Amino acid sequence: QQQVKQSPQSLIVQKGGISIINCAYENTAFDYFPWYQQFPGKGPALLIAIRPDVSEKKEGRFTISFNKSAKQFSLHIMDSQPGDSATYFCAASWGSASKIIFGSGTRLSIRP
Amino acid sequence: NAGVTQTPKFRVLKTGQSMTLLCAQDMNHEYMYWYRQDPGMGLRLIHYSVGEGTTAKGEVPDGYNVSRLKKQNFLLGLESAAPSQTSVYFCASRFGLAASYNEQFFGPGTRLTVL
């Protein structure tokens, strides 16, 4: 119940295309859903996050779509650029200590 | 501000050796976390701390100990290293309880190999 399932494991998208990464969860106690971006040799960094009381959040080319009834959320990267090539982790958080459960990660490659 | 820093960046140990990983943050954050990252498994929480002098177990605490004697530092210890502890270790910190401060800030990681 504490898992966050992420797919696909890897993704190749042409420059200018839309990248879509999907995640699913079981625990309805989760109250915060962040996406982290990680470049090789670096620590993860927060990209965008959403709370379950909204269905969509957009920041620039990055959008989270959230479906509370289906317990699913996804990251959409519009007009994907080579600089977006990185590993993306979805995550879910709950509780006062805001412990984060991470998905297994998606390695995204944007081809020029 | 340096943010979250980790020492060392790389380390090779032999089975049975001990070592301590140091995490330091200069953002006056209350909460600090230690994760390990393994291929295909995302990041898994080892231990965390909600304030100076406190520690708590995470998802995979066995074989590790931690201490938070000062607010800015969080130490991760391996008393008797095993090959299964070969991993990349990340420290993170977070401001506090307020909902708008849920973001965790990560350090650059420590790559540990146990032979």
Closest to A104 (Cβ–Cβ): which among B40, B97, B108? Answer: B40
Beta partners for A45? A37
Q: Could you count the other beta carbons within 10 Å of the beta carbon of residue A42?
A: 15
> What does the pLDDT read at residue B97?
64
> What does the pLDDT read at residue B102?
76
**Contact status, residue B38 vs residue B59, Cβ threshold 8 Å:** no
Distance between CA atoms of A21 and A11, rounded to whole angstroms?
A: 8
Where residue B96 falls among pLDDT bands split at 50, 70, 90? confident
Beta partners for A86? A108
Q: Lowest mean pLDDT: which of A74-78, B87-91, B99-103?
A: B99-103
> What does the pLDDT read at residue B2?
84
Q: Is B83 helix (H, G, I), strand (E, B) or coil?
A: helix
Q: Lowest mean pLDDT: which of A52-56, A107-111, B79-83, B100-104?
A: B100-104
The string over A82-107, giving b where at least 16 C-beta atoms fall within 10 Å of a residue's C-beta and e elsewhere, is eebbbbbbbbbbbeebbbbbbbbbbe
pLDDT of chain A along its 112 residues, tens only?
Answer: 678 999 999 999 999 999 999 999 999 989 899 999 999 999 999 999 999 899 999 999 999 999 999 999 999 999 999 999 999 999 998 877 778 899 999 999 999 9
> What does the pLDDT read at residue A94?
81
> What does the pLDDT read at residue B98?
60
Given an 8 Å threshold on Cβ–Cβ distance, is A102 in contact with B43?
yes
Task: List alpha helices for A1-112, DSSP H.
Answer: none
Does the pLDDT of residue B99 top 60, yes or no?
Answer: no
CA distance B110 to chain A (A): 10
Tell me the per-residue pLDDT of B47-73, one tens digit each, with 9 for 90 and over.
999 999 999 999 999 999 999 999 999
Q: Is A23 helix (H, G, I), strand (E, B) or coil?
A: strand
Beta partners for A15? none
> What does the pLDDT read at residue A102?
94
> What does the pLDDT read at residue B100?
57
Closest to A99 (Cβ–Cβ): which among B58, B103, B106? Answer: B58
**Contact status, residue B51 vs residue B30, Cβ threshold 8 Å:** yes
CA distance B80 to chain A (A): 26
What's the average model confidence in pLDDT over B27-53? 93
